[in-house]
Structure 1
Amino acid sequence: MKASQSSFFDGGRRLQMTESIELTIQSLQAYGPDHPHWGIAWSGGKDSSATLTMVIWLIKTGRLKAPQSLTVFYADTRQELPPLAIAAAHIMDELRDLGMRVEVVTAPLDKRFMVYILGRGVPPPNNNTLRWCTRQIKIDPMQAAIEARLSDFPGNFLMITGVRQGESAIRDQRIEMSCGKDGAECGQGWYQKVLPEAKGLRGRIATLAPLLHWRVCHVWEWLKHWAPMEEYGDWSTATIADAYGGDEAEEINARTGCIGCALAEKDTALDTVLRNPAWAYLAPLKGIRPLWRELREPQHRLKKAGLERLKDGSIAKNPQRMGPLTFEARLMGLDRILSIQQECNAAAMRQDRPLIDLINADEEARIRQLITAETWPEGWEGDEPRADTVMPVVYQNGAVQPLLF
């Protein structure tokens, strides 16, 4: 019987930190030279920050040959936890001091999270029928930025990501099926020749996850101890580890998300940040998630009154579906968010801590402008009844159930 080949993922001997770094170097050396131009997709979270600082350190110390060009794409969703956003700002300064090209990728003003909800009136996202946020404020802007950068030069492009084994059971299943694609093997990084859903990029772009094999303890070790040392780059990454829970981060299987994530059942990440006395002044942020839940309620929204014919001529599946936020609800939400922001910043000034801007001046002005212009999402006129209005039930087949009382 043919003996099976051992791998670093088969539950055998666990990788040491130096071995993880060596495999990362091998991964980049194996695929990097085929692509004259590189990009690094950076969210500011633990895995992408470890990937970013590791790759730049390897290049600057001569352990890895630099490509013809390297662009760091920072995905600024305007919804990141303040410690991560502040750490990202420091790291961007450090990157620019090294002469690195950094592009801050942000959604267009009208599609930013706060403007889309409070200005255009689109209800907060939910996990069932309206999960629009990740695509709109992160994926689409990043793809547009990469396409724009690719137009600057010919040749192949390598997008380096922070995807890592163990981050998500669903994602890991996808990696398990794909990590041998295009000649890659486990331990060499997850290499794919086509960026998913990148319509204009096929044939020119590939993705590589050089930290795929890293254990989470190695990520913490790099961020907390190695990267901040001068010999490894003197990076401002310790704050990132602290945002995830510091020394307890590994034990609590730490993850982060948006401030007051509308899709989460609990503010786990924010609670972790608030346990740190240095960030306790941000406690008013706990009021954001309840606001999104409140704005989903019928009294704050409109609804269709009866049969609705769509553009393709078909009848909407839910003739009396709830829709956008009323102007009163939008103004209430804006006032609530600005009050939370003001309360946090008043405490910040008393304690000499960093200020936050949940909604900046341009976003607030645009929100008010959209409300004044009586803007409604596509398919809504604003003359529909409020969603808590009692009326006869209309079914998709046109049948009507009259009110009994």
Structure 2
Amino acid sequence: MSERVMQLDGDAVASAFKAVGFKRAIAEQLEEVADLYRADQIPWVIGYSGGKDSTATLQLVWLALRALPPEERAKPVYVISTDTLVENPVVAGWVAGSLDRIGVSAREQDLPITSHRLTPRVDNSFWVNLIGRGYPAPRPPGFRWCTERLKIEPSNRFIHNVVQQNGEAIVVLGMRKAESQARARVMDRLEGKRVREKLSPNKKMPSAYVYTPIEHWTDRDVWMFLMQVANPWGFDNKALLTMYQGATADGECPLVVDDSTPSCGDSRFGCWVCTIVDKDRSMQAMISNDQEKEWMQPLLDLRNEIEARGQEGRRDDRHLRDFRRMGGNLSLDNHGRLIHGPYTQSAREHWLTRLLEVQQRIRAVGPEVVRDIELITLDELHEIRRHWVREKHEFEDRLPAIYEAVLGEPFPGEAIDAHLPVRGDELALLSDLCGEDTLHYATVRELIDVARQHHGMARRAGLPRALERALERGFYDGAEDALERAKRLKFSRDRKEPAQLTFAEPLEPDGVEDAP
């Protein structure tokens, strides 16, 4: 394949192989990797997503180590892959198979490489946050609570453990300057702070360094390398190319077409629930390009439902969210509207029902490989149940009933009726008395639970304040009453006058619309 130039935002980015040719460039890159590996005893941690860039990076390291004498390849290389538990199922299956193969082949080839699948802590998972705590779905530009919890924290936890055991670590990543101008600026800035050749500082971990062996490669360089050099752990790089083609709207890749053809690098594999992007083009393309992947349509439908776009196409989920912030405070946006907080109880119960329905649908109509698909784990369900009952005082304990109604089998969790402050029939009576006044029903329910939590304590000094906080959160007549009170309080504060309110309810400063 002839060398090409990729256009990036108007700037020409030349192939990294152009100056000396493909074979020599790869040989020099392998020598660089080997020299850096032998330079010290600091263990390596390779970030592997199963995509083209991380595959090319791991392939370079693998080939470089395999060429070394056995006595020179002693220090460990950890290949880590973070499964957010909401990954595109096709990609997740690919990565899981590849990780298994990496471990087996490394042992067979006597290489110091081990593979590790990382997952977020249960209390940090996507569904525990969205359905359990009620965090609204992430959205641009700044409401992005998911990345840190699902991807960054599990990786950093692993790297931190390596640093604790060894003093330092070298993190090997498949980042490339040609990915975007923003990425190039970040890499250039870190490059200027290098304390060792080829090793950039890790801004979050002072004892970890970052090595990016393909930083100057273009998309075409990556694909050329993957197509012309066999995968050393026995996975098929052509199958990877096919997966990228399937996730591109026109099914094309730059290997056999001219520069005007969209690059496979435009295919973005990620979480199937991602609402940061306007549309999940990769999953939509997979469904459109391959009839055998039509079983993924329910996933796309649920993702779009969570995104909550109105008739005009704008995102609007205010009707699904509490008019108070997570802690019960009120906050006004720049337009004088209440900034809504977490999802309401009914919305969270709806999301759980829909998620289990989609899981059942895929198990029924999907291919054999997804007949046992688990979109939400039992551990997550137990944690969601704990949040509902213990943290949100929703001791109707609706989760087991939802589970049984959708899946047709009892929820495999212990009964907690004996630990609830009131019986189910008493709670039903309270609901009947409150009628459609769900706000005051929830307030009384919380007051009962607060009293139960302090029952039996030797010292109950915190009970009066806990009861007062519950009343402060729920004494409003409704959202309109809360809005009027918030406006009056803000007006008084702006004029530095005392406000005449029933409660000294807290009013947070103006904030972003989507903060929980």
TM-score band, normalised by shorter chain: 0.7 to 0.9
**1:389 maps to 2:479:** yes
| 3-state SS, counterpart of residue 371 of structure 1 | helix
Counterparts of 1:39 and 1:13 in 2: how far apart (Å)?
24
Q: Which moved more, 1:387-396 or 1:88-97?
A: 387-396
Where does 1:120-131 land on structure 2 (aligned, <5 Å)? 120-131=133-144
Partners of 1:301 and 1:386 within 8 A in 2? no
- 2:229 is matched with which residue? 226
Q: Against the structure 1 CA distance between its residues 261 and 239, is the aligned structure 2 distance closer, same or farther, given a 3 Å change threshold? A: farther
The answer to whether the aligner puts 1:215 opposite 2:218 as a matched pair is: yes
Give the aligned CA root-mean-square deviation in angstroms: 3.4
Q: Counting helix residues as a fraction of each chain, which structure ranks higher?
A: 2
Cα distance 1:352–1:12, how it changes in 2: closer, same or farther (>3 A)?
Answer: closer
User: 2:27 matched to 1:51?
Assistant: no
Change (3 A) 1:270 1:19: farther
Which of 294, 298, 301 is equivalent to 2:321? 301
On the 8 A contact 1:33/1:67 being kept in 2, the answer is no
Please list, as runs of the form range in 1=range in 2, the aligned pairs for 1:354-373 lying within 5 A after superposition. Answer: 354-355=370-371, 356-373=373-390
- The 1:13/1:71 distance shift into structure 2, 3 A limit, reads closer
Give the SS at the match of 1:390.
Answer: helix
Partner of 1:119: 132
Q: Judging changes above 3 Å, is the alpha-carbon distance between structure 1 residues 140 and 66 closer, same or farther for their aligned structure 2 residues?
A: same
Aligned ranges 1:148-163 → 2 under 5 Å: 148-154=161-167, 156-163=168-175
1:70-111: CA deviation from partner (whole Å, max 9, x where unpaired): 111211111221222111111111122123322222111011
Contact map agreement 2:30 2:63 (CA 8 A) in 1: no
Change (3 A) 1:284 1:13: closer
Aligned counterpart, 2:420: none
* CA spacing shift, 1:26–1:272, aligned 2, 3 Å: farther
**Conservation of the 8 A alpha-carbon contact between 1:304 and 1:384:** no
Secondary structure class of the residue paired with 1:40: strand
5+ residue gaps, structure 2, are 1-11, 108-112, 255-261, 310-315, 394-465, 493-516
Aligned counterparts of 2:276 and 2:181: Cα–Cα separation in 1 = 18
- Tell me by how many angstroms 1:316 deviates: 5.8
How far apart in 2 are the matches of 1:396 and 1:172? 49
Aligned residues: 369
Alignment of 1:228-377 (within 5 A): 228=231, 232-245=232-245, 248-250=252-254, 251-252=262-263, 253-274=266-287, 275-294=289-308, 297-304=317-324, 318=333, 320-348=338-366, 351-355=367-371, 356-375=373-392
Q: 1:175 to 1:331 in 2, by over 3 A?
A: same
Shift of the alpha carbon at 1:384?
4.7
CA deviation vs aligned residue, 1:271-299 (integer Å, no higher than 9, x gap): 22222334232121111322222396122
Maintained 8 Å contact 2:15/2:218: no
Over 3 Å counting, the alpha-carbon distance change for 1:67 and 1:209 in structure 2 is: farther
2:118 is aligned with 1:110: no
Q: Which runs of 5+ in 1 are unaligned?
A: 1-8, 310-314, 401-405
The change in CA–CA distance for 1:24 and 1:13 in structure 2 (over 3 A counts) is: closer
- Residues of 2 paired with 1:293 and 1:10: CA distance? 36
Deviation at 1:317, TM superposition (A): 6.4
Aligned to 1:166: 178
What is the distance in 2 between the residues matched to 1:71 and 1:289?
Answer: 33
Q: How far apart are residue 346 of structure 1 and its match? A: 1.5
Cα 1:59–1:278 shift into 2, 3 Å:
farther
Match of 1:399 in 2: 491
Shift in alpha-carbon separation, 1:374–1:33, aligned structure 2, 3 A: same
Shift of 1:352: 2.9
Amino acid at match of 2:345: F
CA displacement at 1:61 relative to structure 2: 3.8
Change (3 A) 1:191 1:175: same
Contact 2:45 2:170 (C-alpha < 8 Å) held by counterparts: yes
Correspondence 1:64-103 to 2 at 5 A: 65-97=72-104, 98-99=106-107, 100-103=113-116
Range with bigger deviation, 86-95 or 360-369: 360-369
Matched residue of 1:299: which SS? helix
Report the CA distance shift for 1:386/1:152 in structure 2 as closer, same or farther (over 3 A): farther
Higher relative contact order (CA 8 A, sep 6+): 1
Structure 1 counterpart of 2:241, which letter?
Answer: A
Superposition deviation, residue 118 in structure 1 = 0.5
Structure 1 residues 343-379: Cα deviation after superposition (integer angstroms, max 9, x where no partner):
122122xx43444322122222322332233538xx9
CA distance in 1, matches of 2:27, 2:320: 56
Cα deviation digits, residues 296-343 of structure 1 (max 9, x gap)? 6122211239x987xxxxx96659321111121111001111211221
Q: Is the 8 A contact 2:85 2:375 kept in 1?
A: yes
Does structure 1 retain, via aligned residues, the 8 Å contact 2:80–2:115?
A: yes
Report the equivalent of 1:205. Answer: 208
Taking structure 1 as the reference length, what is the TM-score of the superposition? 0.79
Amino acid at match of 2:184: D
Alpha-carbon distance, 1:14 to partner:
5.1
- Residue 116 of structure 1 and its aligned partner are, at CA, apart by 0.9
30, 36, 39: which is aligned to 1:34?
A: 39
Change (3 A) 1:375 1:168: farther
Secondary structure of the equivalent of 1:163?
coil
Q: Secondary structure at the match of 1:213?
A: coil
2:99–2:117: 8 Å Cα contact kept in structure 1? no
Taking the aligned partners of 2:161 and 2:180, their CA distance within structure 1 comes to 30
In structure 2, do the counterparts of structure 1 residues 220 and 386 end up closer, same or farther at CA, with 3 Å as the change threshold? farther
Structure 1 pair 63/327, CA: closer, same or farther in 2 (3 Å)?
farther
Q: Which amino acid aligns with 2:194?
A: D
How far apart are 1:197 and its partner, in Å?
A: 1.4
Distance, in Å, in 2 between the alignment partners of 1:92 and 1:396 is: 59
- Counterparts in 2 of 1:10 and 1:168: CA distance versus 1, 3 Å: closer
Secondary structure of the 1:159 match is strand
Superposed displacement of residue 137, structure 1: 0.8
Q: Could you tell me how far apart the structure 2 residues matched to 1:254 and 1:191 are?
A: 29
Deviation for aligned residue 1:69:
1.4
The structural deviation recorded for 1:159 is 0.8
Task: Give 1:141's aligned amino acid.
Answer: P
Query: SS state of the match for residue 182, structure 1?
Result: coil
Comparing 128-137 with 390-399, greater Cα deviation is found at 390-399
